[in-house]
A and B are shown apart, each in its own frame.
Chain A
């Protein structure tokens, strides 16, 4: 170790810090600032117009009222439950199906480009189009059910879209149809980045192919997996337009999701109720993300 005095860490890489300062500013003001405003306003009774001064906050303060109302609203409970169902099923199946498709695609098959395009095509469609198309396909009056019945199987029934217990699963189906292709493409890129030497070494050791995939390749794809997880998970929390186009949240309120509730409350005279609901989502996301951030980045700095 040399005896040279270490420079002030604040001035290390000064240029890059300067270059990053607009970004830091935006993060502080837009993300942190807006988040704090959202949480603070959820403790007020504001209806349509946002407030900014401490005096206004003081005048409108209502404590936990908005949260009491929120958790006493059946529609919100349904929404949160649906988000959990959608998030878990969508992320889970997108991962598994996407990985399997990628592995199949990785077998040096002929016309790979054609298949890749076919699987990726749905992703080029917006959620609105996806939702509308599936709403037609699943509509019992003229979609799949009627087609199968017209072909002669008259007892065939597939009414998930109009069945309150099953409607949220139609959203999962449509979401998977749309999003799996992207997961596959990312997984495939990850698979291709694995060095051929690894495969050769595994073959020399006589390890079966499926074990090579599960125990060697998948752990090596960890960074890709994390990227995909972030994309898929954030996509499922955001789900809004797909539900709107596919089920409109119905039948009744059975396929509502939190973003629909928040959007409605924010702009039709219940602003604070909307910010309370979004604060709950923020908190839920933070509870999931913070442990992961600690584990992931904490480890890196130790290394």
Chain B
């Protein structure tokens, strides 16, 4: 027995160098909620199967917490193997400085331009004709989630749009139920943009964020948006504002709150809780006003490395992320839409199917905020909206003017 052990040890020491062509890649991301963690595990499993090793570098909090850490590490010369970011302008400066791995070779070989849709996502990854990131999923932020049972118990028909939700609020409040749950920080900014899309309309949203139409930003369409936000902040008790988006979704799942506005990633939380769309809860794209789909989502960048083994592993990871099996497994857990049209999604839940339907029609698909405007300006808008939400003495008119001023000053 003892001898066997020794032989095993010796054998491993001989075998180890042979396996050394595999690399360990540290992957940073901010997917830490239940549904998100389950989705990441799918990536890790598939990557480990290629013979490399996925070293998880989850950063708790949100993109706002993770982005500075990720960018400072790349700038500081201590890059990770791969990192999640949002599509758009976030990594522009890093690409310009030559800090990111060029994936064009792989993208051409695997014909990403034709297998991935919508086109906007790969275009966001492309700078000067070169591909620098791999889009892994499509997320839209414009969803309202309602707990049907809460409304039924209160004798109210489950609302099918934003206005009905607001109208039902007083009756729910009397019963001690939070009519609309909200999380501190960026979810306030998300709610704002969702209301812009729902109330001012997709075209006006893009006209202001992308084309910087200042007349519109200061005009009556947007004044109506700020009126709606004003209504929303009146029904939200500051004591019920929770720290994280998934806490706010959990309140709806537990029946303590009736509704929440959050992206389709909230679907993953409902799935983890075993709730069924259409029966236990409703998911309303475009806040039920008009079914629309923002092309937010997640992309992976690969900081350049001197080590050819690492570069090889990075290409392996990028390739793995867009394979059919991984796309299905990952996106079902994540509650997001896959980048490929040619995959079997019979296992998708009702919410995802609603999203796919809008995506296939393609008419009400519009770019994500980070594809239209720089992160610095988005953060400033968030600051304005956070203040507006928590300080009732700020008038909707004042908030609208501050918002417009930031849009006006934003670099093109």
Contacts and interface: CB of A to CB of B under 8 A. Distances in A.
B240 interface: yes
Interface in A218-255: 248, 250-254
Contacts of B96: 49
Interface in B69-92: 69, 71-72, 75, 89-90, 92
A73 B90 CA distance: 22
Interface residues of A, number: 29
Interface stretch (A100-108, A261-269, A289-297): A261-269
* Chain A interface helix/strand/loop/mixed: loop
A141 B90 CA distance: 37
A164 interface: yes
Contacts of B97: 48-49
A273 B239 contact: no
B83 to A, nearest CB: 13
Contact of B238 (A135, A163, A265): A163
B304 to A, nearest CB: 15
A49 B72 CA distance: 10
A116 interface: no
Contacts of B89: 269
B71 A48 contact: yes
Contacts of A163: 238
Contact of A251 (B64, B71, B241): B241
A266 B380 CA distance: 14
Nearest to B383: A75
A50 B99 CA distance: 13
Interface string B368-412: 000000111001100100111111000000000000000000000
A239 B97 CA distance: 33
Of B69, B93, B240, B389, the most chain A CB neighbours within 10 A belong to B93
B391 A250 contact: no
Contact of A270 (B64, B92, B239, B376): B376
A190 interface: no
A106 B92 CA distance: 61
Contacts of A264: 64, 68, 379
Nearest to A270: B376
Given A251-B184, A251-B241, A263-B68, A273 B383 contact: no
B184 A250 contact: yes
B376 A273 contact: yes
Given A250-B241, A250-B386, 16 more contacts: A47-B93, A49-B75, A50-B75, A163-B238, A250-B184, A251-B184, A251-B241, A252-B386, A252-B388, A253-B387, A254-B391, A264-B64, A264-B379, A266-B72, A268-B375, A269-B375
30 contacts: A47-B93, A47-B376, A48-B94, A49-B75, A49-B94, A73-B380, A73-B383, A141-B239, A141-B240, A159-B238, A159-B239, A164-B238, A248-B184, A248-B185, A250-B386, A251-B238, A251-B390, A252-B386, A252-B389, A252-B391, A253-B383, A254-B387, A267-B68, A268-B67, A268-B375, A268-B376, A268-B379, A269-B89, A269-B376, A273-B376
Interface of A: 47-50, 73-75, 135, 140-141, 159, 162-164, 248, 250-254, 263-270, 273
